[in-house]
A and B are shown apart, each in its own frame.
Chain A
Amino acid sequence: MRAGESADLFAPERPACPVPLKTVAPPRAVLPAAAAQTLSAELWLGVQVAAGAAQPGQEPSSALMRLATYAQRLTPRVALAPPDGLLLEVKGSLHLFGGVDGLRGEMDTACAHCGLRGTLALAPTPLAALIAARAGQPLVVLDSAQLIGQLAPLPLTALRWPPKLLDRLAYIGVRTIGQALRLPRAGFAQRFGAGQLKDLDRLTGHAGDPRERFEARVRFRRRRELSFELESRTALLAALGPLLAELERFLEARQCGVLELECRLWHRGHPPSRSTVRLAAPLADAARLAELLGERLGTLSLPAPVRACELRSGFPVPRVASSGTLWQPGEQGGSPEAGSPQLIERLRARLGSEAVHGLVCVQDHRPEAAWRAAEPGARSGEGSGGCRGAARPLWLLPAPRRLSERDGLPRYRGGLRLASEPERIETGWWDGAEVARDYYSALDTHGRRLWLFRERNRPHHWFLHGVFG
Chain B
Amino acid sequence: MSSTINFAIDLGTTNSLIAKANNGSVAIFKNPSGMKVTLPSVVAFRKDRILIGDKAREYVEKDPANVFASFKRKMGTGESYFIPNNGSFKSPIELSTIILQELKNFIFTGESPASVVITIPASFDTIQSNATKEAGYAAGFREVLLLQEPIAASLAFANREGKSGMEGQWLVYDLGGGTFDVALVVIEDDEMKVIDHEGDNFFGGVDFDNAILTSLFIPYLESRFGITDLATKMLSANGKYNKLYYQLLYKAEEAKIGLSSHNHVEIEFDFTDEAGEDHEVYFSISREQFDAIIRERIMASISFIRNLLTRNHLQPSDITEVVLVGGSTYIPLVRGLLAQELGIKVNISIDPTTAVVEGAAWYAGGRPAKAEPLPIEQQPAIDGSHKKKDEKAVAIEVKTAYQANSRDTEEYLAAIIKNAPAGSNYRITRADGGFDSGLKPVAEKISEMLLLLPNSLNIFNMKLFDAQGFALQVSIPDIMIVQGKFSIYGQPLPHDICLEVDDIENNITHLELIFERNAILPIKKSITKILSRTIAKGSDDQLLINVLEGSRYASPQSNLPIGIVSISGKQLQSDLIKGCDVDLTFEISESRDITVTAYISMIDAEFRQVFNPSARTVNVTRLQQETDYLYRLGKRQLEKLLKNEKYEESAALQQAIKELEAIQEKLKTLSEDDVTDTKYQLDDQKRRLSQVIDAAEKGDRIVDLKEEYYNKKENYRLLLLQTGNTALLQRLESMNTEENSWINNCSTQYLRLKISEMDRLTWNIRKQDISYVTSLYMYYSMKPDEAYSNLSEIKLLKTRGDQALARKNPDEILSIVYRMYELLIDKDREESIKGTGLKG
Q: Do these two chains interact?
A: no
Please report A residues at the B interface, Cβ cutoff 8 Å. none
Please report B residues at the A interface, Cβ cutoff 8 Å. none
